[in-house]
A and B are shown apart, each in its own frame.
Chain A
Amino acid sequence: MARRIDADALSFGLAIGGLASIAVVFLIAPTLILLITSFTDSESLKFPPSGYSFRWYAALLDAHQLLDAAWNSLVVAVWTTVLSVILGVTAALAIGRSRAPWAKALDSLFMSPLLLPALAFGFGALIYFNSIGLAQSMIGLIFGHTAVCVPFVLRNSIAALSQLNPAMQEASESLGAGSLYTFRRVTLPLIAPGVGAGSFIAFMSSFDNVPVSLFLSDARTQMLPIHLWEIIETNLDVRTAAASGVIVVATLVLMILAERFAGLTKQLR
């Protein structure tokens, strides 16, 4: 490419390239530094660590509260994802193919949890669940999480449906297939990657949820992010770094799996 290198192009390249490089470094650095620090052999979170060991990872095995909280978070995240997929995909089938005003209105309503301060909803859910007897229960947590996680499934499913050629479904139906059969054998396989990416994000955001869990969980239903937050707030325990290390690696593995099977980055593009 014979491009004229002048002051204009040079300053532009430097500015855009510089800002983008800083952005990339800042996106990776914190996670990487935390990961390295978690292998420290000392009692402080200094970077770089004076020596390396697995002692804090070994200490995790005895951290019963932490393990209980992790298990609770996992259970809630799994049920939230299941519920979000059932509710989100069915709603996407109705909304995604309709251009009627009611569909637009419902779409805005179902997406609104992403815009409203989730903490305000969490507090509202606490008052409401208190009055209907669901407060501090796993069911309450699952319902609360589902309300804020369903938008991810819905958005990705609608996006996948809009890429779908309607002729496929028409062909299936004109060949005599019922609408349920068409959904199972034609529509669902075609939108599966989009649904997969959406449910992956819903799962991760439920596992990571703070604003809703903050109000809906208690000592019996302790959630991992809340428990970690409490530890970091009170005394910076190095075990939290090890727990964070496990979360980072698990996330990375899940992301690679999601990329392989659902083409995660393609779905989010």
Chain B
Amino acid sequence: MAGGSADERGEWRLALPLAAFFLLFFIAPLAVLAAWSFYAATETHTLTLAQYAKFLGDRFTLGILWNTLWLGVEATLVCLVFGYPLAWLAIRLTPRWQAALLFVVILPILTSVVVRTFAWIVMLGSQGVINKTLIAIGLIDTPLRLLYTETGVVMVLAQVQMPLMVLPIMATLMRVDRNLFDASASLGAGAWRTLWKVTLPLSIPGIVAGCILVYAACVTAFVTHTLIGGARLIYMPLYIYQQATGANDWPFAAAMSVIFMVAVLFVVYLLNLLGRTSKGQIYG
């Protein structure tokens, strides 16, 4: 077995530098963060659960948490609705076109997120391209309010994080045997039926991976939240930032960070679970 021989030759020791680095500069900061969440105040370091009680007992803060988690769900769904067809199409293109499309898909993740969000400010305003286009084709009479609204934030998040959805789905679809689609068609299934019964179930691992990455990125997208959402729409990252640097309430900000992390990991866990149960249904 490969693992046995690798272990015998002592290759495991090569993981030590990164493990040490993570212990010192990833796990330790998170542990310190967790410790601070139990402090009574920035100056008094007596241990208490007061910060958690303060957060969980306040409808305002709970509302912010819920809005953030829900925002992630909405943006992830929009991303999936547009990203899946793109991935579906991409694997059927000739290699040349596929590379070109991939280039278009990858470009946004590599362009600065501030730049991408900034571009949307130019587009979303009442004089922006989107409103002008919609008015020109007669769909609306008065400009829609898009900037500083949740709809705007969802749209921008979906666009900004789209690559994280498309790439894993493409990777999964490429491993699927093409003959399965032909078999489904030759057995009389229409295009929609083949999608529902063959293609979609087989792409679930990619969909789950994409959803997890997009979700995790959307809920923590500080720049998009603040620039598109404005000052009225507050999500967890901005609130943590305000409490940590503006109000200098480190224990409360730490407790919020811990709660936020646990909540996000819980959603990721649920998505994983969803992927596993639906897989069970296909082969079971």
**Are A and B co-members of a single complex?**
yes
Most buried by A among B129, B220, B244, B260: B220
Segment with Cβ contacts to B, from A50-58, A59-67, A89-97, A188-196 = A89-97
Contact between B119 and A12 (Cβ–Cβ < 8 Å)? no
* B104 and A34 form a contact (CB under 8 A): no
B residues 1-17 touching A (CB-CB < 8 Å): 1-3, 6-7, 9, 11-15, 17
Contact of A210 among B32, B101, B114, B159 (CB under 8 A): B114
Tell which of A6, A23, A99, A119 has the most Cβ of chain B within 10 Å. Answer: A23
Q: Could you tell me the distance between the alpha carbons of A11 and B170 in the complex, rounded to whole angstroms?
A: 23
Residues of B within 8 A of A120 (CB): 30, 33, 220, 240, 257-258, 260-261
Contact across chains for B222 and A210 when beta carbons are under 8 A apart: yes
Q: How far is the CB of B263 from chain A (nearest CB, A)?
A: 9
Chain A residues, Cβ within 8 Å of B192? 8, 11-12
Q: Does B146 contact A (CB under 8 A)?
A: no
Is there a chain B Cβ closer than 8 Å to A262's Cβ? no
| Minimum CB–CB distance for A56 against chain B, Å | 13
Please classify how large the interface on chain B is, using the bins under 10, 10 to 19, 20 to 34, 35 or more: 35 or more
Q: Is the CB of A268 within 8 A of B104?
A: no
What residues on A are CB-neighbors of B108 within 8 Å? 27, 31
B137 contacts the other chain (CB 8 A): no
Q: A133: CB under 8 A from chain B?
A: no
B114 touches A225 (CB 8 A): yes
Report the Cα distance A224→B14, complex, angstroms. 34
Q: Of the candidates A87, A95, A179, A266, which one forms a contact with B21 in the assembled complex, judged by CB atoms under 8 Å apart?
A: A87
Would you call A207 an interface residue if the criterion is a C-beta within 8 Å of the partner chain's C-beta atoms?
A: yes
Q: Which residues does chain A contribute within 8 Å of B195, judged by CB atoms?
A: 12
- Contact between B3 and A103 (Cβ–Cβ < 8 Å)? yes
> Digit string of B211-248 for contact with A (CB within 8 Å is 1, else 0)?
01100100110110011000000001100110011000
Query: Are A98 and B2 neighbours in the complex by a CB distance under 8 Å?
Result: yes
Q: How far is the CB of B3 from chain A (nearest CB, A)?
A: 4
Given the known A-B contacts A24-B104, A126-B244, A255-B106, are A211 and B3 also in contact in the complex, defined by CB atoms under 8 Å? no
**Nearest chain B residue, comparing its CB with the CB of A183:** B14
A141-178 CB contacts (< 8 Å) to partner B: 143-144, 146-147, 150, 154, 166
A contact patch SS: helix
Chain B residues whose C-beta falls within 8 Å of the C-beta of A28 in the assembled complex: 104, 107
Report yes or no: A88 in contact with B18, Cβ–Cβ below 8 A.
yes
Determine whether the beta carbon of A114 is less than 8 Å from that of B17: no
Q: List 26 A-B contacts (CB under 8 A).
A: A27-B107, A30-B123, A33-B123, A87-B21, A94-B6, A94-B12, A97-B11, A98-B3, A115-B212, A115-B264, A117-B261, A117-B264, A119-B237, A120-B258, A120-B261, A123-B33, A123-B240, A123-B253, A124-B33, A214-B222, A214-B241, A229-B223, A240-B118, A248-B115, A264-B106, A268-B102
B binding-site residues for A, Cβ under 8 Å: 1-3, 6-7, 9, 11-15, 17-19, 21-22, 25-26, 28-30, 32-33, 36, 81-86, 88-89, 98-99, 101-116, 118-123, 127-129, 159, 162, 167, 170-171, 174, 190-192, 195, 212-213, 216, 219-220, 222-223, 226-227, 236-237, 240-241, 244-245, 250, 253-254, 257-258, 260-261, 264-265, 268
Instruction: List residues of chain A with CB under 8 Å of any chain B CB.
Output: 6, 8-9, 11-13, 15-17, 19-20, 22-24, 26-31, 33-34, 37, 45-47, 86-88, 90-91, 93-95, 97-100, 102-103, 106, 109-110, 113-121, 123-129, 131, 143-144, 146-147, 150, 154, 166, 179, 201, 204, 207-208, 210-211, 214-215, 224-225, 228-229, 232-233, 236, 240-241, 244, 247-248, 251-252, 254-255, 259, 264-266, 268-269
